[in-house]
Structure 1
Amino acid sequence: MDSTLLNTLPLPPSALSALDAAGYETLGDLRGLPREQLEEYGIPSSMMQAIGASQAPARAPPLSQSIASMTQGPTKETRITTGCQPLDVLLSGGLPFGTALEISGPPGAPREPLAMNICKSFVRAQKRVLFVDFQNMHSPASIRDTLSDIDYDKRSVLYSKILDLSHLMQFVHSLPGYLERHPPISLLVLSSISNPFQNAHVAAKNKIGLQSVIRAALAKACVSQEMTVVSTSQLSTKVLNADGSVGNYDTGAKGVMVPSLGDYLPEKKSYRVIVSRSSPNTGELRLFSTPVGPGTVPHVEYSFDDL
């Protein structure tokens, strides 16, 4: 019984992803773990007795966890599950705390559900979240509905709605003071951050300058408070010549879809993922960039059952 593989048990995908990222492989690895720790991994209370949860302090990592996973890269304590197993695989085991993740995609791609999954992971871990809506797609009530299956302090999720570029820049300038007045905020969600730029029709030169201001503010928050940033944005078409240089519609050989915003995320601390749909129920997640170069897994497939 103790050698039963966890992926054969009726556990939620988010729980399996979190346990895999932490190095747990078999039912025996979980024997004796505190109930509170099992709850953090998203294991249903109905399975606690079968697992054999205890009230004892957490023990050392299980022997089934490889030496390499304990000595290389962020550990389970420095990563959090995204709530989507394919996305966790793409990010080598989850999203590291204190980094930024942009999720871009065309209309109809599940950008917002992926961001909300990450929000749920932070709330489930009893961490404070600031959710900023730039497209009037969410409300405090809709966020509460999404989190209704979690027992949490409603005051731990803060909400703000910003619909134009001037108010976005005011928010960015006031962010350091806001974080000081509402400590500690562990996750900042920027939902549809590309929308204010598209509505304002900003010139390219000014757009680059504004994005550099945003990048500096987010970098300071990530470094000084280990705050994690998750943003969603749309895609835009980039026209390339045959030699790979930027072209126009007269000279360009092909058009490719890329994130609509440029370098607005902290340098060397950011992941950019493009999500697309290949059918009504399936799609692909692709790494556009990472803090350290190409990822070990450049793309993965997902189904809507993973969300």
Structure 2
Amino acid sequence: MVSLSALSPPPAPPLPRVSDSCRLIFLILSMSGGRGGRDTDGGAAASLDSTPGKVNTGSEEAGLSREEAEDVLQAAGTGGPLSASVSALELLQKEEETRSIVTFCSLLDSVLGGGLPVGRTAEICGVPGVGKTQLCLQLAVDVQVPACFGGVGGQVIYIDTEGSFLLQRVVDVATAAVRHCSLLVEDDDQRAAMMTFTVEIILSNIFLVRSRDYVELLAELHLLPDFLSDHPGVRLLVIDSVAFPFRQIDNLSQRTRLLHSLAQQLAAMANTHNVAVVTTNHMTTRLRGGLSQLVPALGESWGHASSLRLLLQWSGSQRLATILKSPGHVETSVPYQINSDGFRDADQSEQPPSKRARTLPDQSAASQSDACC
């Protein structure tokens, strides 16, 4: 187990605003022969290789220092971040090569197109006891399934904000996953992979962090980019839950601002470090037209933050997983169950007799919520 709080990244130097940088390039290009003009022998890079006078004039009008102006022009003229681009075909090829993290519920994996995609953000919401943490623990194990078995073969950072991480439960889920993969062995590569896919190694690849309030959570997230750079094998980040720490903030404006910043951080980490980011969220009651309705907490703005939103809910005594939001999948519900092995397909022949029937109001409008917890 590793705590990210032991890390202390060096302070990053302030960067020029993108708008100022773009204005500087526009001004220099204009002084070099028209808007966006290109030299016949040097292209745009030659146009940006400007004289000191042009740099001075452009930096003054753009509101940058000369040093900042030179840094911007060097990046733009050498194919740096300002001039980097990627085609839609390259994005498609990259997406096709990206593996997904299976859930071990074949119906859910099928409607998700193979599981939870790496490099994107996902939110799991639902009432207490429906299985949000159980799914997170399952994913923390499943992300380590070797590639030769169709897995990702990665590590996981698990940020626990509620104290719901149960080690013995992780051991049970890991034991079941190892047993499942051992039954699928067919060749030498898979036999070799099973040598490093054991319960002990699975536990060693889970970096557990305990955050007790929103200050600690934001501090840990500030340290994450450096940790991810030092641990390139991490393919999953779990925050269970994201709603709990922010309940302490009474100022709605402050909470909205912090959540917006948090959403941007998580999306950037998912894309930059190629990790799947999974957060859990509570449900809250919204009153509309004299009727009460259970909807995901944290408001409508937060609901747009994740690429995928998955609702876990009860329908009588049966658990259902519903895709509320996904760029590539329609709204679909599939049954599932939580048993001793973990998150699995529902056994239609047996329903848990100890579970009392719980029926929630219609939640089809959950993704449109503007309520806050």
After TM superposition, the score normalised by the length of structure 2 is 0.53
The separation in 2 between residues aligned to 1:266 and 1:172, in whole angstroms, is: 20
The structure with more radius of gyration: 2
List aligned pairs for 1:218-229, cutoff 5 A: 218-229=266-277
Identity of aligned residues (%): 24
Residue 264 to residue 158, structure 1, CA distance change in 2 (3 Å)? farther
Q: Equivalent residue for 2:297?
A: 260
The separation in 1 between residues aligned to 2:267 and 2:220, in whole angstroms, is: 15
List aligned pairs for 1:5-154, cutoff 5 A: 75=96, 77-125=98-146, 126-140=153-167, 142-149=169-176, 150=178, 151-152=197-198, 153=201, 154=203
The separation in 2 between residues aligned to 1:128 and 1:265, in whole angstroms, is: 27
Q: In structure 2, which of residues 271, 278, 282 is the aligned counterpart of residue 234 of structure 1?
A: 282
Cα offsets for 1:224-258 (capped at 9, x unmatched):
11110112121111223xxxxxxxxxxx3322222
Q: Equivalent residue for 1:213?
A: 261
The separation in 2 between residues aligned to 1:111 and 1:122, in whole angstroms, is: 17
The separation in 1 between residues aligned to 2:100 and 2:115, in whole angstroms, is: 5
Residue 291 to residue 204, structure 1, CA distance change in 2 (3 Å)? farther
The separation in 2 between residues aligned to 1:95 and 1:261, in whole angstroms, is: 22
> Helix, strand or coil: the match of 1:83?
coil
Determine which structure has the larger helix proportion and give its number: 2
List aligned pairs for 1:165-176, cutoff 5 A: 165-176=214-225
What residue ranges of structure 1 are gaps of 5+ in the alignment? 1-70, 241-251
**How much is the aligned-residue C-alpha RMSD, in angstroms?**
2.7
> Helix, strand or coil: the match of 1:124?
coil
The separation in 2 between residues aligned to 1:122 and 1:217, in whole angstroms, is: 22
Corresponding letter in the other structure for 1:184: G
Cα offsets for 1:87-118 (capped at 9, x unmatched):
22332332211112211111221111112222
The separation in 2 between residues aligned to 1:217 and 1:265, in whole angstroms, is: 15
Residue 135 to residue 124, structure 1, CA distance change in 2 (3 Å)? same
Corresponding letter in the other structure for 1:117: Q
Q: How far apart are residue 73 of structure 1 and its match?
A: 11
> Helix, strand or coil: the match of 1:130?
strand
Residue 73 to residue 226, structure 1, CA distance change in 2 (3 Å)? closer
After TM superposition, the score normalised by the length of structure 1 is 0.64
Q: How far apart are residue 159 of structure 1 and its match?
A: 0.6
Corresponding letter in the other structure for 1:270: S
Cα offsets for 1:272-295 (capped at 9, x unmatched):
111112244x22212221235xx3
Corresponding letter in the other structure for 2:105: C
Residue 302 to residue 155, structure 1, CA distance change in 2 (3 Å)? closer
Q: In structure 1, which of residues 284, 288, 296 is the aligned counterpart of residue 330 of structure 2?
A: 296
> Helix, strand or coil: the match of 1:147?
helix
Give the length in aligned residue pairs.
221
Q: Equivalent residue for 1:248?
A: none
